[in-house]
Amino acid sequence: FFFNDTATTEIYTEQIVGSVRCVQETACDKYLLLIPTFSEGKNGYLTSLGKEKPTPVRLQLKPEDKMKYAILKENFTPARFDESQSGQESFIVSSIGQYLITWSLKHIITGKKFDYDIKKLPDKIVSNEFKFNAQDSLYVALPYEVKVQKTKVK
């Protein structure tokens, strides 16, 4: 199945978008954007959604967590969805510095976008990716090693 190279639906944001991974995620410095691509039975990759386009969901840390973990400058790594044989995604993972942050899509869809798990690792996280077909395991790349990290996904 191939998609047209040309965008059919424009999305407007307040900040410059730093990373876009088609179908997977969009990252800005201070927050992540979860952009729904289906509306009223239409696929935003194949046809313009026009006025029917859903509102993007902004994922960010709570101010009290920024203070608790002394996060002075937010700079999210590109986010990743978990991937499974069924093709159904359930979780999103990203990081800021040495903090690994995991969101549940089920919670986001029900409006609980500040319900996430945050875990401190021993060094700055360079990249993170869910292990295929294993929602509770992540590959986490640090500057000098790669770890398999268990998650507390809900």
CB 64 within 8 A of CB 22: no
Q: What is the pTM of this model?
A: 0.74
Residue 110 or residue 52, greater confidence: 110
67-78 tens-digit pLDDT: 999 998 888 888
Q: What distance in Å separates the CA atoms of residue 80 and residue 127, rounded to the nearest whole number?
A: 10
CB 91 within 8 A of CB 103: yes
pLDDT range class, residue 9, cuts 50, 70, 90? low
Specify the DSSP element, H or E, that contains 141.
Answer: strand 134-142
Q: What distance in Å separates the CA atoms of residue 55 and residue 23, rounded to the nearest whole number?
A: 16
Provide the sign of the torsion angle of the four alpha carbons 40, 43, 49, 53, taken in this order: positive
Name the residue type at position 102: T
Q: Which residue has the tokens 């000098």?
A: 144
102-138 tens-digit pLDDT: 999 889 889 999 999 999 999 999 988 877 877 677 8
